[in-house]
Each structure stands twice: as structure tokens, then as C-alpha cells.
Amino acid sequence: MKTILIVIVVAIIVATGGGYFAYTTAYSTALAAGTAAGQEKGYQQGFTAGQDAGNSTGYNTGRATGLKDGYSAGYNDGLATVKDTLVLHNPNYAEVKAFLKADTTDQIPYNELTYVCTHYARDVINNAVKKGIRTAYVETRFTGMSHSLVAFETTDKGLMYFDPQYDDEVRPVLNKPYWQCMMPTDSGVTFSAPGSDDTIRDILIIW
């Protein structure tokens, strides 16, 4: 009876010890596998997070650099454009008179075929622009004909008209004969009623 009891006790101990050993072995194996799997998953998560952070940092750095380079390029392009831009100004009345006195367009002989009022106006405007003076082309229209003037938006007397052929001031008024719109002249030229109707029907101003 004692022998049987001892055998049973030994068997229990052996069985228990074997189960513990198996448990320990399985635990260690699972722990190693779990650690490896966790490392892999953690690596992937860390890689993704690091990639996103790096992408964001790189984007911000690149954007800042791009903005700086773009600003510099735009500034240089704008500066080059301004250098090629002619800036015009509205003169005062005295400046207009001084310009017209110095300008020699009025000394060019009138030629009905090659050099008429439109040519005088064109050349006066071109010469004024070279001086930085803003000037308008003006066409006074009569019945069946027209006459070209120039105009300046003066800073002290407002819009002033001049006949570029004589450099004399004109104050055109609709439905009034053109010759009556001529002001007392500096050139000494006098005007009288022409043989045709020069009543002003329209005034066209082109800046």
C-alpha cells in the first residue's frame, strides 16, 4: 500500500513538474514571438510617424526656401520692368509754356500733302513724352473736316488745349466756330472766319 502511494505521489510530482516545464517553455517561446511581432509593428508605426514628421518638416523648409527664392526672382523681374517703364506726369501751366517754347515742331513748314495738323500733334506729343510730360491727342471735328490739337492736364489750371502748329492756346467749345476759340497768340498769328464752316461738332480726346 505504501509502495503504491509513493508511486502515485512521484507520478503527480513528475506530472506537475512536466507541466510547469511545458508552460515555461511555451511562455518563453510566445514571449520571444510577441516581442518580435511587437518590434515589427512598432517599427512600422514609428517609420510612418517619422516619415510624416519628416515630410512636414521638409515641406515647411522647402516652402520657406521657395518663398524666399520666388520673392527674390519676382523682385528682380519687377525691378527690370520698372526700369523699362516711362513715368509721365501732369505738368503745371508754366511747364507747358516752357516746353512749347523750347520745342521746335512749330517751325516745320506746313505741307498739305506731307505734313499737316495731325503730324504737328504727333510730333509735339512724342517730344513731350520724352520729357516725361503726359499729353493728349485732341481732334476737333467740324462738318466734313477736323483739326488736331494737343492737351495737357495741368496741375494749376486744369485741362489746357494748344494748337501744335502755332503753340497757341485754344479753348474749344461745342457748337462754337473754331476760329473764335483761339486765344490771343504768342506767335502774332491772327485768325478770322474761314471760307468753310468750322463750327465744332465734337471734341475727341485720346490720352
DSSP per-residue codes, 64-114 = HHHHHHHHHHHHHHHHHHHHTPPP-BPPPHHHHHHHHHH--GGGSPPBTTT
Same structural domain, 75 and 143: no
Same structural domain, 118 and 53: no
Same structural domain, 72 and 100: no
Q: In whole angstroms, how far apart are CA 21 and each of 9, 10, 11, 15, 24?
A: 18, 16, 15, 10, 5
Same structural domain, 66 and 99: no
**Which pLDDT score is estimated for 13?**
47
Backbone φ and ψ of 10, nearest 5°: -60, -40
Question: Confidence class of residue 191 from pLDDT cuts 50, 70 and 90?
Answer: confident
Q: Which of 81-85, 187-191, 192-196 bottoms out in mean pLDDT, i.e. has the lowest?
A: 81-85
C-alpha cell at 46: 514609428
Q: Which one of 85, 108, 133 terminates a domain?
A: 85
Same structural domain, 59 and 99: no
Entry pTM = 0.59
Q: Which one of 36, 56, 85 terminates a domain?
A: 85
Q: Which one of 57, 85, 113 terminates a domain?
A: 85
- pLDDT one-digit tens code per residue, 7-52: 454 444 445 555 556 566 767 776 777 777 778 787 888 788 778 7
Domain that holds residue 70: 1-85
Same structural domain, 104 and 56: no
CB half-sphere exposure, 165, CA atoms < 13 A? 15
131 pLDDT higher than 70? yes
Q: Give the separation between CA 120 and CA 150, rounded to whole angstroms.
A: 9
Same structural domain, 104 and 160: yes
Q: Give the separation between CA 179 and CA 193, rounded to whole angstroms.
A: 6
Sheet holding 168-170, edge to edge: 168-170, 158-163, 146-154, 136-141, 202-206
Number of domains in the chain: 2
- pLDDT one-digit tens code per residue, 76-108: 666 565 556 778 999 999 999 999 999 999 999
- The angle subtended at Cα 17 by Cα 15 and Cα 20, nearest 5°, is 110
**Which pLDDT score is estimated for 76?**
67
Q: Which residue has the higher pLDDT, 195 or 130?
A: 130
- pLDDT one-digit tens code per residue, 156-184: 999 999 999 999 999 999 999 999 999 97
CATH number, position 192: 3.30.460
Same structural domain, 121 and 160: yes
In the chain, what is the straight-line distance between the N-terminal and C-terminal CA atoms, in Å? 133
Same structural domain, 111 and 43: no
Same structural domain, 104 and 29: no
Q: Which residue has the higher pLDDT, 4 or 26?
A: 26
C-alpha cell at 128: 513731350
Same structural domain, 81 and 112: no
